[in-house]
């Protein structure tokens, strides 16, 4: 039962993902639920790794603000933010924990630029 969704999403191989299992009238349906970290790692274009063999990996890539906005659009329905720029700032917070940069700057700097209005976020 679980083989079908995973075979169609080979590009997420060896990356932690969430699945949602819904059972209705004894029929189970499985859906992949996107989260921020796997989408950011996929945007960094890093290859799959064996999590048992390689520990404490630093993801030191660079993303563009447009890629962050695209990820935020995918996750907007699950976000608790009132405005879209809040969702973008949530994704930037995940970038901080992953360790990547955005347009050559720290994600915290980009969050400050969004808050001050120097970077305008339109949905």
Lookup result for tokens 């030191």: 60
Q: How far apart are CA 34 and CA 78, in angstroms?
A: 9
**CATH topology for the 36-116 domain:** Arc Repressor Mutant, subunit A (1.10.10)
Beta bridge partners of 28: 23
Give the model's pLDDT for residue 65: 92
Between 55 and 26, the more confident residue is 26
pLDDT in tens, 11-25: 555 567 788 899 999
- CA 72 – CA 85 distance, rounded (Å): 9
Predicted confidence (pLDDT) at residue 90 exceeds the cutoff of 90: yes
CA–CA separation, 120 and 66 (whole Å): 12
Q: Is the pTM of this model over 0.85?
A: no
> In this structure, are residues 91 and 64 in contact, taking their beta carbons and an 8 Å threshold?
no
pLDDT tens readout for residues 28-85: 998 888 888 888 888 888 766 666 776 767 777 889 999 999 999 999 988 889 999 9
**Could you tell me which residues come within 8 angstroms of residue 80 by beta carbon, excluding any fewer than 6 positions away?**
none
At residue 4, the pLDDT reads 56
DSSP state of 22: E
> What are the Cα distances from residue 105, in Å, to 3, 56, 83, 95, 99?
40, 22, 23, 11, 11
């Amino acid at each position: 039962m679980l083989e079908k969704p995973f075979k169609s999403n080979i590009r997420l191989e060896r990356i932690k993902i969430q699945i949602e299992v819904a059972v209705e009238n004894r029929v189970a349906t499985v859906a992949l639920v996107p989260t921020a970290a796997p989408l950011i790692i996929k945007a960094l274009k890093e290859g799959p790794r064996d999590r048992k063999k390689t520990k404490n990996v630093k993801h030191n890539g660079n993303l563009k603000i447009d890629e962050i906005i695209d990820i935020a659009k995918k996750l907007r329905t699950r976000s608790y933010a009132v405005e879209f720029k809040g969702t973008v700032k949530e994704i930037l917070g995940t970038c901080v924990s992953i360790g990547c940069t955005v347009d050559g700057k720290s994600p915290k700097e980009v969050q400050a630029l969004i808050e001050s209005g120097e970077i305008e976020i339109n949905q």
